[in-house]
Amino acid sequence: MKKKPLILITNDDGITAPGIRALIEVMKDLGDLVVVAPDSPQSGTGHAITINNTLHLNKISKPDAAFDEYSCSGTPVDCVKFATKEIIKGKPDLCVSGINHGSNSSINVIYSGTMSAAVEAGIEGIPSIGFSLSDFDWNADFEVVKPFVKKIAQQVLANGLPEGVILNVNFPRAKSFKGVKICRQAKAMWVEEFDKRKSPHGRDYYWLTGKFVNLDKGEDTDEWALSHGYVSVVPVQFDLTAHHAMQTLNSWKLDE
C-alpha cells in the first residue's frame, strides 16, 4: 500500500482562523497532516524569528484525533522550525501556508507571515505553497478557492518544485475565477504615513496607514491577473542575489 504524503499546515492568522480550517479540509484528502500555527494573529511579521523570548508549544488535538495539531507562541517561521525540528523531526512532503485572510500579491510577499512560513520550509528543502484570498473579512467564503487549492497542491506533490522555488498563490475576491495564470510579481509599493493621535493621558501614539500603489502596467503580473478575475501563481525564491547587477559592480574599482 502506497504511503500517504505527510503535509505540514501553518499560517499567520492564527490556529483558529477560518482560512487554516479551510486549508485543513482540503489537505486531509491528500495526505497525513501535521498542523502547527501561531496561537494568535501574526500578520505582517515577515520572516521574524523568536530569539529573545521563550517559546511555548501546546498540543491541542485530542488523543483520538485524525491528525496532530499544535499552537505555538511564536511567529509563523517559528512554527515551521518547531514542526521540522521537534514534532516531525524531519521533512514533510509538502508545506502549505494559509489560507491567508487578505492578499499577499506583489510587494506584500516581503511582509507576509504566510509567505515567510512557506519560504522557511523552502529553505529547508520542502516543496511549499502559500495561499491567500483577497478578502480580509474573518468570515470570508473560502469554498470557491478549495478546488484550486487542491489542484495546485496535487500538482506540487506529483511534480515537485524547482530547487529554491516556492509558490505564492493569490485568489481574487470573486464568486468564480476565469482560470489560473503563472505570473511575475508586480512592481508596486505602499505609500505610507503615520496617523498621530494622543492618548487620554496626553501621550502621543501612532497607527501605520497608507495606500497600495501599483506602478506596473504589465499584463503578466499578479496584480493584473487578480484584477481581471484570475488566480495568480508566482514562483518566488529566497536567493535575493541581484544577479543582473553583478557585472556592473564588478566594473567598480574596489580593489584599487
For residue 52, the SS3 value is coil
What pLDDT score does 190 carry?
A: 86
Q: What average pLDDT does this structure show over 186-193?
A: 89
Are the beta carbons of 112 and 41 closer than 8 angstroms?
Answer: no
For residue 247, the SS3 value is helix
Amino acid identity, position 56: H
Residue 1 pLDDT class (50, 70, 90 cuts): low
Q: Which residue has the cell 511549499?
A: 128
Q: What average pLDDT does this structure show over 160-178?
A: 96
User: Residues 41-81: pLDDT tens digits?
Assistant: 888 889 999 999 999 999 997 778 889 999 999 999 999 99
- Looking at the DSSP bridge assignments, the partners of residue 36 are 70
Would you state the torsion angle of the CA atoms of residues 26, 29, 35, 41, taken in this order, to the nearest 10 degrees? 10
What span, in angstroms and rounded, lies between the C-alpha atoms of 235 and 232?
10
Domains in the chain, please, with CATH? 6-187+218-250 (3.40.1210.10)
Q: Per residue in 148-181, is it b (16+ CB within 10 Å) or e — as a string? A: bbeebbeebeeeebeeeebbbbbbbebeebeebb
How many of the other CB atoms lie within 10 Å of CB of 238?
A: 13
- Considering the entire predicted model, what is its pTM? 0.93
**How large is the angle between the packed helices 146-159 and 18-27, nearest 10 degrees?**
50
What span, in angstroms and rounded, lies between the C-alpha atoms of 95 and 30?
12
Q: What percent of the chain has pLDDT over 90?
A: 87
Q: Which residue has the cell 494568535?
A: 40
Give the chain's mean pLDDT: 94
Q: How many separate helices (H) and strands (E) can be counted in the chain? A: 7, 11
